[in-house]
Amino acid sequence: MANEAGALVRVAGMFSQRGFNIETLNVAPTENPSVSRLTLVTEGTEHVVVQITRQLLKLVDVVEVRNMTGDAYLERELALLKVRANGEPATQQTSEVARIADQHGAEMVSLDEGVHTLQFVGTAGQLDALIADLVAAGRLEEEVRSGVLAMTLGAGKLHYVEDYEELDAISF
């Protein structure tokens, strides 16, 4: 989508007006400063997803829409988690929380006042599994998730136009 003020509001408004739910949303600039990449996760039947795609393509700010359902793609989500260990000495080396974090590939970024702060990068499913294990071992104090980022595998890529002004002459 266009990297312009109001573009995200128009996309979110389209979802709201039509009663579609956004599960996760992530937007950031790309290698082309005039274009931002919006990664959005929603649920619905194939018909609903086709409807969403058609509606998005009607928005002036939207450059391209790619439904990654069924495609080979790389997915990652970042999370920061605060966990208070129950009844354990507050040492990072012997902590059950540290053991679980290591088992899931999470990084312990701080231990302060008996609260472990973890950083994790992985799929949404891997993150859900880590959280379930942490909840069972201690008490989850706080959770912050970035939302899913996704990119197709291989040489295929989204179509970016060098000069955003040229978009009026291109039909997608």
Distance CA 16, CA 163 (A): 30
Numbered ranges of CATH 3.30.70.260 in the chain: 7-70
Q: Report the C-alpha gap between 94 and 148 in whole angstroms.
A: 32
Minimum mean pLDDT range among 93-97, 119-123, 131-135: 93-97
**Comparing 8-12, 13-17, 27-31, 165-169, which segment has the lowest mean pLDDT?**
165-169
Q: Is the pTM of this model over 0.95?
A: no
Q: What is the CA 165 to chain-centroid distance, rounded?
A: 29
When pLDDT is averaged across residues 37-63 and rounded to a whole number, the result is: 88
Question: What is the location of CATH 3.30.70.1150 in the chain?
Answer: 74-145
pLDDT for residue 77: 95
| Of 47 and 95, the one with more pLDDT | 47
User: Tokens at residue 138, please?
Assistant: 């201690």
Average pLDDT over every residue of 103-114:
90
Q: What is the pLDDT of residue 112?
A: 84
Q: Which one has a higher pLDDT value, 115 or 103? A: 103
Of 11-15, 44-48, 122-126, 157-161, the one with minimum mean pLDDT is 157-161
In this predicted structure, the answer to whether residue 141 has a pLDDT above a threshold of 70 is yes
DSSP-derived secondary structure letter, 32? S
158 band by pLDDT with thresholds 50, 70 and 90: low
pLDDT of residue 171: 35
> Rounded to whole angstroms, how far apart are CA atoms 103 and 133?
10
Mean pLDDT to the nearest integer, 83-92 = 63
CA separation (Å) from 103 to 23, 84, 99, 108, 134? 27, 18, 6, 12, 11
Task: Give the CB-side neighbour count of residue 86, counting CA atoms within 13 A.
Answer: 8
- Give the DSSP H or E segment for 96: helix 96-104
Confidence of residue 170 (pLDDT cuts 50, 70, 90): very low
Assign domain 74-145 to its CATH superfamily.
ACT-like. Chain A, domain 2 (3.30.70.1150)
Q: Which two tokens stand for residue 164?
A: 């955003």
- Output the pLDDT for position 87: 59
CATH code for residues 7-70:
3.30.70.260
